[in-house]
Amino acid sequence: MYTFIKKQDPKIEEILRGEEKRQREGLELIPSENYVSRAVKEAMASSLTNKYSEGYPGRRYYGGQEFTDQVETLAIERAKKLFGAKYANVQPLGGANANIAMYFALLEPGDTVLGMDLSHGGHLTHGHPVTYITKIFNFIRYKMKDVETGEIDYAEMRKVAKKIKPKIILAGFSAYPRELNYKKFVSIAREVGALAVMDAAHIAGLIAGKAAKNPFDYGFDIITTTTHKTLRGPRGGLILIRKDEELAKKINKAVFPGFQGGPHMHQIAAKAVAFGEALRPSFKKYAKQIIKNTHAMEKVFKGHKARMLTGGSDNHLILLDGWKSFGVSGGEAEKLLDRAGITLNKNAIADDTRKPMDPSGIRFGTPAMTTRGFKEKEVARVAEIMIEVLTARTDAAVAKAKKEIKKLALSHPIPESFK
């Protein structure tokens, strides 16, 4: 596979093969990671990587755009069909880029955004103080009313929104296991004259696969998302506009020339391939199986009386309090399970008293395992192995787990194509 790299740069080839081996023999439980098809990889490695295509289809600043226009138009049309949008911009290089471009398109410096607090499941780009975007716009954060059920305090959100008059009310998350009440978001947004925006980066695949509700069906104006994670495409971003042409024009200007230069056409081709895969009937089965698998893992942890934030999950991820459940910090749990061949990430929980680099929680999910063909029985066993490792915390327990995880992984190889 790496014939030319092996000849030209054997050190890089060695590293790539090491990573392939790690992925092949271990299990990926980070909910924001997945496996792409061979077709997506081929598009990413195509000759389109050589081409500069500043502008949009039919309106480029360089010549030689016959095929780039075709591939970007195809990506746009497929994205619109997947999500029921009238307009789409497929050029953002990532989810953060998509969010930042969206802010610049819709806001003036000093304008206010009401978004979910990072500690309660939000994302850095939703207004965490460490990000530079907070130097330009004013972010106010809402939280859960009850961390045991995951209920958002919509009454407080409405009260705050009426007081601060945000230009955007932002839904979406990076570590929130429940489905949001989109109807309430839109109701509050309309009452205060705000735009309703959903960051669907984590659940875009579930929405596309009809396994989760579509925010557009409830009146959301804009959806931003990544194209990897549950959508199972290349790493990249996407902005969807439900129906407003003026909003679409503002978004396009913000992405280019406002925020980015030339789009990565090889990435856009890979997005088009992934969107085409997600339009197949089999993707709906995949999306539904993700949630079935999450519920199977949830059942095991409930049986062991482990503390899951929000009491469980409606989507692809589980946020577990390792400190209260097993007496192990998130950082230690991540390292222990990594040694056993299970990759997940340490994660802060709501109102965490521990430090961000060694928080109380761990975050894990089922998208990548589901891609490998895991069903309820297999993921339940993975949950049991996790409990065994986190309970014992011995070299012997880790070694035993690693052996079984490798066997499970090799019996469910990473697919090269999706039927």
**How many other CB atoms are found less than 10 A from the CB of residue 411?**
11
* Alpha-carbon span 413 to 260, nearest angstrom: 37
Tokens at 333, concatenated: 């749990």
* 32 inside domain: no
pLDDT at 351: 87
Q: Which of 255, 278, 301 is the last residue of a domain?
A: 278
Residue 356 pLDDT exceeds 90: no
Q: Which amino acid is at 189?
A: A
pLDDT confidence bin for 402, thresholds 50/70/90? very high
* Alpha-carbon span 262 to 251, nearest angstrom: 16
Q: Which of 227, 262, 278 is the last residue of a domain?
A: 278
Active site residue 353: no
Residues 264 and 334 reside in one and the same domain: no
* 19 inside domain: no
* Alpha-carbon span 104 to 251, nearest angstrom: 8
pLDDT at 128: 86
Residue 77 pLDDT exceeds 90: yes
Residue 70 pLDDT exceeds 80: yes
Catalytic residue among 28, 72, 117, 199: 199
Catalytic residue among 235, 292, 375, 381: 235
Tokens at 209, concatenated: 């696969």
Active site residue 351: no
pLDDT confidence bin for 155, thresholds 50/70/90? very high
* 218 inside domain: yes
Residues 135 and 269 reside in one and the same domain: yes
Mean pLDDT of 242-261: 97
Residue 129 pLDDT exceeds 90: no
Residue 127 pLDDT exceeds 90: no
Active site residue 146: no
Contact 26, 406 (CB under 8 A): yes
pLDDT at 287: 98
* 17 inside domain: no
* pLDDT tens digits, 41-66: 999 999 999 999 999 999 999 999 99
Residues 249 and 332 reside in one and the same domain: no
Residues 268 and 362 reside in one and the same domain: no
Residues 209 and 321 reside in one and the same domain: no
Report the percentage of the chain scoring pLDDT > 90. Answer: 95
Contact 172, 208 (CB under 8 A): no
Catalytic residue among 178, 229, 232, 307: 229
Mean pLDDT of 219-240: 98
Q: How many residues does the chain have?
A: 419
* 4 inside domain: no
* pLDDT tens digits, 368-397: 999 999 999 999 999 999 999 999 999 999
Number of domains in the chain: 2
CATH number (domain holding residue 349): 3.90.1150.10
Q: Which domain holds residue 110?
A: 41-278
* pLDDT tens digits, 181-212: 999 999 999 999 999 999 999 999 999 999 99
CATH number (domain holding residue 100): 3.40.640.10
Active site residue 199: yes
pLDDT at 1: 77
Residues 127 and 67 reside in one and the same domain: yes
Catalytic residue among 13, 33, 54, 358: 54
Active site residue 378: no
DSSP strands (E only) in 156-266: 168-172, 195-199, 222-226, 237-241
Report the percentage of the chain scoring pLDDT > 70. Answer: 100
* Alpha-carbon span 32 to 44, nearest angstrom: 19
Q: Which of 278, 297, 327 is the last residue of a domain?
A: 278
Active site residue 163: no
Give the torsion sign (CA, 256, 262, 265, 267): negative
Do strands 237-241 and 87-89 pair parallel, antiparallel, or not at all (unpaired)?
antiparallel
Contact 31, 363 (CB under 8 A): yes
Catalytic residue among 68, 125, 225, 226: 226
- What radius of gyration, in Å, describes the C-alpha atoms of the chain? 22
